[in-house]
Amino acid sequence: MTPSRDIKRLLEIMAALRTPETGCPWDLEQTFETIIPYTLEEAYEVADAVARGDAEDLREELGDLLLQVVYHAQMAAEDNAFDFADVVEGITQKMIRRHPHVFGDEKARSAGSAKGMWDAIKAEEKRERAARRQARGLPPKQADTSILGSIPANIEPMMESLKLQQKMVNVGFDWDDPKAVIDKVREELDELEAEIEGGDADSREDEMGDVLFTILNLARHLQVDPGNALRRCNRKARQRFGHIETKLADVGKTPSDVTLDEMDVLWQDAKKTGL
């Protein structure tokens, strides 16, 4: 089998990998559940390539992410649930429907703002999904009954928090001043400190979650992307600790050979050099 620019070749490769007896033993063992960690990992690697501005890596990582879509579609086809063509048809149908100002007639193209139409169309789609579930005798999903229900509960936690907050903001449940959020951060830190003194592990975890949720709220108010902010901090941590290791190696030592105070001196030295 030879490489190709045609998506059909990728579908053929995945089908071959999943063919009983002649396919790849590892690929044949996988399920939707076992593949999910790889799907998430590939999405993060796409984000990393974008952050680094590396077009070559981005091209490769997008291919890895596409493979994950094909993988899920292949397993669904084996279950007679849907196939890759159904996925493509579904998303093209959705994008055409949600952009009448681009793909519709002149009336649709001039009617209202894109954001307003997008929200209205998504709301209509939600009502249609609820009707289909009811017709099948299924109970309503939270996604169809709650403002927050459309947000998946198993996405990356920081992203989930930000999406939950934005949904609440849309109905007016929000602070009107970043300073008020800072006060709330201090309040949550005080509650965490109290749990450190006398609480149990579950209580400390609860309070730590409140601190993180409020910090993300502060980032949103300051129009700071918390993921980018943390990535920048992580890069600085790598560089500064690398400075510590280099300086210690110059005198024949490693971090495990010195005290915390000695390492902190080198950390501060790294900060002064701009790392």
Both tokens of 216, joined, read 């993300």
Contact 225, 219 (CB under 8 A): yes
pTM over 0.95: no
Q: What pLDDT sits at residue 142?
A: 55
Amino acid code (one letter) for 132 = R
Q: What pLDDT sits at residue 128?
A: 78
Dihedral pair phi/psi, residue 155, rounded to 5°: -80, 175
Q: What pLDDT sits at residue 144?
A: 55
DSSP, residue by residue, 136-189: TTPPPPHHHH-TTTTS-TTS-HHHHHHHHHHHHHHTT-S-S-HHHHHHHHHHHH
- Angle subtended by helix axes 55-78 and 32-52, to nearest 10: 160
Angle at 69 between CA 149 and CA 232, to 5 degrees: 70
Q: What is the DSSP letter of 139?
A: P
Angle at 118 between CA 113 and CA 123, to 5 degrees: 130
Q: Round to whole Å and give the CA distance between 51 and 61.
A: 13
Q: What pLDDT sits at residue 143?
A: 54
Q: What is the pLDDT of residues 235-254, one digit of tens each?
A: 999 999 999 999 999 999 99
Q: Round to whole Å and give the CA distance between 148 and 205.
A: 23
Residue 53, C-beta contacts closer than 8 angstroms, at least 6 positions apart: none
* H or E segment to which residue 216 belongs: helix 201-221
Q: What pLDDT sits at residue 107?
A: 65
Q: What pLDDT sits at residue 112?
A: 55
Q: What is the pLDDT of residues 29-68, one digit of tens each?
A: 999 999 998 998 899 899 888 988 999 999 999 999 999 9
Taking only the tens of pLDDT, the chain with its 275 residues reads 899 999 999 999 999 999 999 999 999 999 999 999 899 889 989 988 898 899 999 999 999 999 999 999 999 999 999 999 999 999 999 898 888 878 876 666 655 555 566 667 777 777 777 777 778 777 666 555 677 877 777 778 888 899 899 989 988 999 989 999 999 999 999 999 999 988 789 999 999 999 999 999 999 999 999 988 998 999 999 999 999 999 999 999 999 999 999 999 999 999 999 88
